[in-house]
Amino acid sequence: MAADTTGTSSAGTSGAGTDGTGADGTGAETAIGYEQARDELIEVVRRLEAGGTTLEESLALWERGEELAKVCRRWLEGARARLDAALAEQDPGRDEQ
C-alpha cells in the first residue's frame, strides 16, 4: 500500500475536529478517521525509514506525515476531552482536586 503524498484522502466520514473540519480547522484536509490517519502515518514513516526516495519525495512524505500526526493528535485530544467530561459527570468534585 502506497502512502498518499498529495495531502488529501477520499475515505472516512468523521472529521478530525468535533465540528467536522480538517486537521487545520479549515476543512482543507478531507475528513479521515483516527485509524486511517494512524495507518497512513505508519506507512509514511516506513517509506521514509526505508530510504530510496528523492529529496522532493522525502519532503512530500514528511509534510504528509506532519499533517497526519496533527489529525491523530486532534482525535486523541477529542477523545481525552470526552473521557474527562464523562468522568466529571460521574464525579462532579473530581475537577476540584
Q: Give the model confidence (pLDDT) of 12-37 as tens digits.
A: 334 434 444 444 444 445 589 999 99
Nearest to 67 by CA among 11, 2, 6, 13: 6
Q: Would you state the pLDDT for residue 21?
A: 44
Supply the pLDDT for residue 62: 98
- Indicate the burial class of 38 (C-beta count within 10 angstroms; 0-12, 13-18, 19 or more): middle
C-alpha cell at 42: 505508519
What's the pLDDT score for residue 5? Answer: 43
pTM exceeding the 0.75 threshold for the entire prediction: no
Q: C-alpha grid cell for residue 94?
A: 473530581
CA distance 62 to 65: 5
